[in-house]
Amino acid sequence: MTSPSRSPSAFSHLECSRTGETVDADGLRNLSAAGAPLLARYDLERARATLRPGQRDARARSLWRYAEVLPDPGAAGPVTLDEGLTPLVATPRLGRRLGVPGLLIKDESRNPLGSFKDRGMSVAVSMARALGARALAIPTAGNAGGSAAAYAARAGLAAHVFMPADAEHANVREVERAGAALTLVDGFLHDCARIVARRAPTEGWFDVSTFKEPYRVEGKKTMGYELVEALGDVPDVILYPTGGGTGLVGMWKAFEEMEALGWLGRRRPRMVCVQATGCAPLARAFEAGAETAEVWESPTTHVHGLRAPRVLADFLCLNAIRASEGTAIAVSDEAMHAMQTTAASAEGLSICPEGAACLVALERLREAGWLGADERVVAFNTASALKYA
Ligand SMILES: *Cc1c(COP(=O)(O)O)cnc(C)c1O
């Protein structure tokens, strides 16, 4: 596609993640005809001519510096709050306690609204605006709603946010402050999703649910690009707290793209999917050797980012975990909360329970001998602890 604004984007088309069918990207799109997520594809030969690692100073101070491998937001430009470019923090004192002294934490709490949901929303809202959406709708456990409300406000769009009634107070307040319409639902995330799916077509809302639109995962994949730029290669192991799986699938996609761009060889990190024992549909499916995950009935975890009972991109997550020779593990809420204190007292970082889950999983996997003391390990801290005050 040629663009009159001479955009650097090498975006080419959308593709059904299940059937490979090509889908026209000129309008607002949700799932494919097969009911599966759509994924963005690029002319990576073209991107390769201008996108190289280590061009930090010459480029945007946000994830939009990877413009070649992001969709084209058009003449209006991206809707941005300078998301991304988060630090990869060395945590030697904590690492020694957990048995991996070289531990690095990718600290996503530094994003504008305090969670990595900002990455996905910047790209999704940019594209929704460019393609003519007037109002967005989102079912959310909390942080995605806060980000959607903020980026919609920044874009001048309306937003309708559906959240479980027991969501974190910080999320409720940030949605209200940003002027979005908030509905508190007596139920779980998939109950909110059902309401949005039913109402969006008649209300004229564009549904930006996880994996129901194609561009949140593009924003999240930039975490993979940043890791490779910071390390000069992939790490040995990545621990990721998985709800809907956008980061897991996004980073896996980014590694594939970077191989085509000539940044990487064939080596991949072992991807560890970390969930809560009170809602672990992917860990259960991984253990069972299944290719898809059943809905987790009656989740009991109170850690909202991990309370995603139904995983639309289940087959993509499970494929990334298995193809990488990774694993999936569930940990308790109690262990997460204790680890928040351990991590904060050892390193001073503001670690959310989901981020702490990765550290609990790391300690377990180290004890079990699944990973070695001198491996290069990256754990994701996906939000600020302030969101859970
Ligand atoms: C949403 C969320 C997650 C899960 O992210 P997915 O990409 O949906 O798997 C993890 N941690 C926090 C803090 C979140 O808000």
In contact, 285 and 213? CB cutoff 8 Å: no
Task: Please give the Cα distance from 56 to 166 (Å, whole number).
Answer: 41
Helix (H, G, I), strand (E, B) or coil at 259: helix
Domains (range + CATH), the chain: 88-115+215-388 (3.40.50.1100)
The dihedral sign for the CA sequence 125, 130, 135, 136: negative
Mutate to test the pocket of ligand 1, among 354, 358, 380 (most ligand atoms within 8 A of CB): 354
Note the pLDDT tens digit of each residue in 355-373: 999 999 999 999 999 999 9
Output phi, psi for 186, to 5 deg: -80, 85
- In 3-state terms, what secondary structure has residue 233? coil
In the reported structure, the alpha carbon of residue 305 is separated from the centroid of ligand 1 by a whole-number distance in angstroms of 5
Q: Which of the four pLDDT bands, split at 50, 70 and 90, describes residue 2?
A: very low
Please give the mean pLDDT across all residues of the chain.
96
pTM above 0.85, yes or no: yes
E strand intervals along 210-350: 237-241, 270-276, 327-331
Residue 306 Cα to ligand 1 middle (Å): 6
Listed residue (282, 211, 204) closest to 240, CA to CA: 282
d(CA 146, CA 183): 13
C-beta of residue 384 within 8 angstroms of C-beta of residue 352: yes
Ligand 1 neighbours, Cβ below 6 Å, are 115, 117, 143-144, 210, 241-247, 305, 352, 354, 382-383
- pLDDT for 250-293, tens place per residue? 999 999 999 999 999 999 999 999 999 999 999 999 999 999 99
pLDDT in tens, 53-65: 988 678 899 999 9
Q: What is the pLDDT of residue 389?
A: 80
Angle between helix 333-347 and 353-367 (nearest 10): 90
Q: Write the pLDDT tens digit of every residue in 173-209.
A: 999 999 999 999 999 999 999 999 999 999 999 999 9
Given a contact cutoff of 8 angstroms between Cβ atoms, the answer to whether 151 and 79 are in contact is yes
